[in-house]
Amino acid sequence: MNYLLTVSYIGTNYCGWQYQPNARSVQECFQNAVEDLFGKRFPVTGCSRTDSGVHAKGFLCTVKTDGTESPIDSDKLPMALNVRLPQDISVREAEAVPDAFHPRYNTYGKEYRYIFYDGKCRNPFLQNRAWQICHRLDESKMNSAARLFCGEHDFSSFCSVGTSDDNHVRTVFESNVAREGETVVFRVTGNGFLYNMVRIMAGTLYDVSRGKINESDISRALKCGNRASVGMTAPPYGLYLERVLRKPFGE
């Protein structure tokens, strides 16, 4: 049986999704929960990696069993796993999918959300949940600049030096910034993202707000492929994987 899980987690206490031998990961917690539930350490496969401290609302992963376990209905699986998972990780939905389904290769994109907080006083409820800025952000300038990311571009300027991907061309479907009270939210959806790409986009938009970078700088950066031509890498704790876009079965 191949179970597809939709997962939410707060990434503060983890080194990211992927298992690492010397640090606690979300994947390891899942593998432990699956082993405790089924009595066997079945493989748990994620749709992507997330950095240390990054959060997820709609992460996808699969648990592939071998048929020797006692069967569990998909609608009962979330609760069965949640009682075995830490409080900052939750399975929201589960469904049975074809054995060939892969949470990375049977998807066509992702939506990310980056949250800035620019209230006059720090907000303890957003500690490690948003990038808290000590001055007012200009969301209008940020939104105008964010639209430049839309379309197909070589995003070499917007990924960390040494990124393993050989092809840095990605297509951004939507990119915008809007104010929600004392938070400013950057949302971006695309067919794929390079290492630290969204955090560099967010850091660049922050520099647009404070006048260090303008729209023409971003346009040039999308052509020149020079990481030094754009802004800082925003802190991880403001970033959320909002949802993963799935292909229909059979594609």
CB of 191 within 8 A of CB of 125? Answer: no
Residue 51 annotated in active site: yes
Kindly state the helix (H) or strand (E) to which residue 81 belongs, with its residue range.
Answer: helix 77-82
CB atoms within 10 A of CB 20: 13
124 three-state secondary structure: helix
Radius of gyration of the chain (CA): 19
Q: How much helix, strand and coil, in percent to the nearest 5, is found in the chain?
A: 25, 30, 40
Catalytic residue, candidates 51, 118, 138, 207: 51
Q: Which two tokens stand for residue 219?
A: 């346009």
The residues that are catalytic are 51
